Amino acid sequence: MRLAQVKGHIPRPLFDVLAGEISTLRPCQEKAIRAGLLKGKNLLVCTPTASGKTLLAEIAGIKRILEVGQKCVYIVPLKALAMEKYKDFKAKYAPLGVKIALSIGDLDSSDPWLANFDLVITTSEKMDSLIRHGAPWVSQVGVAVFDEIHLLNDPGRGPTLEILVTLLKKLLPSAQFIALSATVGNPVELAGWLGADAVLDDWRPVKLYQGIFESGEIDFFGAKGKLKVIAGVDDPVLGLALDTIKKGKQALIFCPTKKSAEATADRLARLLPKDTSLPSLSKSVLSALSSPTRQCRRLAFCVEHGMAFHHAGLVSKQRGLIEDEFRAGKIKIICATPTLAFGVNLPAFRVIMKSLKRYAGRWGQTWIPVLEYHQMTGRAARP
């Protein structure tokens, strides 16, 4: 379907923004429009990573803001993802006069200032808090978007998200609900609970191959030929990372703990020469805190060699610098904990799973759920 075919069904300013980016709608976008996206229908969109789900939520939310003057809330699981969406949406839609706010802070405040904004990007926990503190502007919400809706199944975040969806369904019976996910095991059942139509599609913009690395080669189980990897080191994770760099590509390495992520990045950095283009970035990472810690110095050392680690223990400025420079192609490898898998847009040529387990607080080392594994490996299927 050509974008021009929906020109008369969305506000002209929104159409002009979209036309500057795309001319043809992707398969899931066409299916969603035919399912009633532009008519206010509730939708559960289950399609692979980078297939165009977010744009559907943008179209529904901005359309409602411009045409009716109602608000849109865009709810995500992580602060890092909320900040990324805030920057993206502000760059695209603030020129249209859409007032965009980010609310991820104090859980004991109703943030009354949000009443002056059209599009509010927030986390599940913060939105739950806003409702419980009686934020009056919530009644003006016309579109509610739930990104990464499959986290209903997460033992840590799931209960809050489930209660939040339940509350909003009761508080906003006439609002449009858009739920997004790349990995839902029971989409029809979930759509029924949401009171939504399921939009299902398996189209990917980039072909994803999955395999196991053993004895110097990657076995893709017949999906493609086996790939020989000659790296000159015994550690298979380091070998795959060095092979990626030799190809002039980038990789994400998912590690089970913060300590493992830091140690892996450090070992890689010691195998590579300094990158003469990165000293200023290294200094920025080091000076993110007024008094650099040992961790800051370690990260700065890794960055000098084109490596980085990424986890919740870093300050926001450091994480932002690493993400931006990875997108720019300067950081070649990021060693991260599994939380980086949730939606943050860091396209990589290869994803390397160091372990199929992760640290889960008082539960110790636990197996990574299948849906979460697909979230991680899906980082390698982005354009």
Which of 200, 227, 251 lies at the terminal end of a domain, its last residue? 200
pLDDT of residue 341: 67
Please give the Cα distance from 323 to 345 (Å, whole number). Answer: 9
Q: Is the pLDDT of residue 274 over 90?
A: yes
Q: Which domain holds residue 296?
A: 212-380
Q: What is the pTM of this model?
A: 0.84
Are 112 and 261 in the same domain? no
Which of 200, 223, 244 lies at the terminal end of a domain, its last residue? 200
Are 287 and 375 in the same domain? yes
Are 55 and 177 in the same domain? yes
Tokens of 268: 């890689």
Are 98 and 242 in the same domain? no
C-beta separation of 251 from 350 below 8 A: yes
C-beta separation of 97 from 69 below 8 A: no
Confidence of residue 343 (pLDDT cuts 50, 70, 90): low
| Residue 33 included in any domain | yes
| Residue 8 included in any domain | yes
Tokens of 122: 């927030």
| Residue 206 included in any domain | no
From residue 140, alpha-carbon distances to 40, 116, 152, 350 in Å are 15, 11, 25, 43
Are 176 and 255 in the same domain? no
Q: Which amino acid, 366?
A: T
pLDDT in tens, 144-184: 999 999 989 888 889 999 999 999 999 999 999 999 998 88
**83 or 264: which leads in pLDDT:** 264
Q: What is the mean pLDDT of residues 15-29?
A: 95
Are 181 and 274 in the same domain? no
pLDDT of residue 370: 84
| Residue 236 included in any domain | yes
Q: Which amino acid, 378?
A: G
pLDDT of residue 142: 98
Which of 200, 233, 259 lies at the terminal end of a domain, its last residue? 200
Are 179 and 268 in the same domain? no
In DSSP terms, 213 is beta-bridged to 218
| Residue 207 included in any domain | no
Please give the Cα distance from 358 to 366 (Å, whole number). Answer: 6
Please give the Cα distance from 22 to 49 (Å, whole number). Answer: 18
| Residue 177 included in any domain | yes
Q: Is the pLDDT of residue 365 over 90?
A: no
| Residue 268 included in any domain | yes
Are 322 and 228 in the same domain? yes
Are 192 and 267 in the same domain? no
In DSSP terms, 24 is beta-bridged to 2
| Residue 260 included in any domain | yes
Per the structure, how many domains does the chain have? 2
Which CATH number goes with the domain that contains 17?
A: 3.40.50.300
C-beta separation of 59 from 6 below 8 A: no
Q: Which amino acid, 315?
A: V
pLDDT of residue 340: 73
Are 194 and 220 in the same domain? no
Please give the Cα distance from 266 to 264 (Å, whole number). Answer: 5
Residue corresponding to tokens 């800051």: 296
Are 156 and 187 in the same domain? yes
Are 88 and 192 in the same domain? yes
pLDDT of residue 342: 66
**84 or 305: which leads in pLDDT:** 305
C-beta separation of 239 from 233 below 8 A: yes
